[in-house]
A = this chain, B = another copy of it.
Amino acid sequence: MDNRSAILAAAAELLESSPNGDISTRAVGERAGVQQPVIYRLFGDKDSLLAAVVDHGFAEYLAAKRAAVPTDDPVADLKRGWDGHTRFALDHPNVYRLMYTPRLTSPPQAVREALELLHGVLERVARAGRLTVEPRPAADIVMAANSGVALALLNRPEAERDPDLSARVRDIVLPGILTPDPDADPAAVPLSVAQAATTLGALLRSDRPGSFSPAEFALLTEWLTHLATHTNP
């Protein structure tokens, strides 16, 4: 095995199982079976090593995504891309943090590639006449929102993560840059059950009526939250 590949593999493994997302060049050398200066001769710098690890780990993800994407429904591809982005962040938290956290002096090439891939999908969406924003700024918009969601999820302990956050933001941001779905029913309902339940719940929270016992009130608000959450608009 090449020394360079061994170091990359060792660094990737150590990074994956690192609690604080950091690794030491000494540990990498020991695991790869090489001495510390070899790393510096091959990569020059610890930041460059980490950037190489990120690029390496992201390459597989990019390859898989590149191979699977070409559907004839670019909007569905866009949605799939969002979900894949979030899943990659949750699967490789430390790599993802290195990508979208400006700790490195030399930003890894992976973020640029990811943005270009998203831009390509958006170009196809635009060609299908579904985009209301120019593809370039649209890519920035989607990437900012998607990475924000991913980092927000990573920042919360695993138990407190809202499993619907990514889909929620996705279903807000993507329609915000797309033309209305032609398959959707164009009859705009002025008020939905969810909306009415949300409003009533907020009003009751700020002005609690005295005619309810605590248990009744708890049950009522629970039902309102259920209606606000699990109802189609």
Chain A contacts to B: CB under 8 angstroms: 20-21, 97, 100-103, 105, 107, 111, 123, 126-127, 129, 131-135, 137, 140-141, 143-149, 151-152, 154-155, 162, 164-165, 168-169, 172-173, 175-177, 179, 187-188, 190-207, 209, 211-212, 216, 220, 223, 225-231, 233
How far in angstroms is the closest Cβ of chain B from A12?
19
> Least Cβ distance of A92 to chain B in Å?
14
Take A162-B140, A173-B145 as given contacts and tell me if A199 and B205 are in contact as well, using a CB distance cutoff of 8 Å. no
Give chain B nearest CB distance to A205 CB in angstroms: 7
Q: Which of B103, B151, B176 contacts A175 (CB 8 A)?
A: B176
A172-B176, A173-B173, A209-B231 known; A194+B132 contact, CB < 8 A: yes
Residues of B within 8 Å of A203, CB to CB, are 126-127, 191-193, 196
A152 and B144 in contact, given A126-B199, A209-B227 (Cβ under 8 angstroms): yes
Does B133 lie within 8 Å of A228, measured CB to CB?
yes
